[in-house]
Amino acid sequence: QVQLVQSGAEVKKPGASVKVSCKASGYTFTSYGISWVRQAPGQGLEWMGWISAYNGNTNYAQKLQGRVTMTTDTSTSTAYMELRSLRSDDTAVYYCARDGRFVVVPAALDYWGQGTLVTVSS
Amino acid sequence: EIVMTQSPATLSVSPGERATLSCRASQSVSSNLAWYQQKPGQAPRLLIYGASTRATGIPARFSGSGSGTEFTLTISSLQSEDFAVYYCQQYNNWPRAFGGGTKVEIK
For residue B47, which phi and psi values (nearest 5 degrees)? -105, -50
Whether the pLDDT of residue B79 is over 90: the answer is yes
Pairwise CA distance, residues A67 & B95, whole Å? 16
Beta strands in A7-113 (DSSP E): 10-12, 18-25, 33-39, 46-52, 58-60, 68-73, 78-83, 92-99
Q: Is B26 helix (H, G, I), strand (E, B) or coil?
A: coil
Single-letter amino acid, residue B83: F
Contact between A47 and A37 (Cβ < 8 Å): yes
pLDDT in tens, A65-94: 999 999 999 999 999 999 999 999 999 999
**What pLDDT score was predicted for residue A105?**
85
Q: How far is Cα B23 from Cα B96, in angstroms, rounded to an integer?
A: 15
pLDDT value at position A66? 96
Separation of alpha carbons A45 and A103, rounded Å: 21
3-state class (DSSP) for residue A66: coil
Note the pLDDT tens digit of each residue in B12-35: 999 999 999 999 999 999 999 999
A31-65 tens-digit pLDDT: 999 999 999 999 999 999 999 999 999 999 999 99
CA nearest to A39 within chain B? B43
Q: Of the candidates A43, A96, A99, A90, which has an alpha carbon nearest to the alpha carbon of residue A67? A: A90
Residue B23 near residue B72 (C-beta atoms within 8 A): yes
Contact A109 B36 (CB under 8 A): yes
CA distance A45 to B39: 13
Whether pLDDT at A104 is above 90: no
Question: Residue B54's Cα: distance from chain center in Å?
Answer: 11
Radius of gyration of chain B (CA): 13
**Residues A78, A21 contacting (CB under 8 angstroms):** yes
B44/A109 Cβ within 8 A: yes
Q: Does residue A5 carry a pLDDT above 90? A: yes
Nearest to B44 among A45, A46, A61 (CB): A45
What is the DSSP code string of B70-102?
EEEEEESS--GGG-SEEEEEE-SSSSPEE---E
Rg of chain A taking only CA atoms, in angstroms? 14
Categorize the per-residue pLDDT at B1 as very low, low, confident or very high, splitting at 50, 70 and 90. very high
**Interchain contact, A114 vs B43, CB within 8 Å:** yes
Chain A residue numbers touching B96 (CB-CB < 8 A): 35, 47, 50
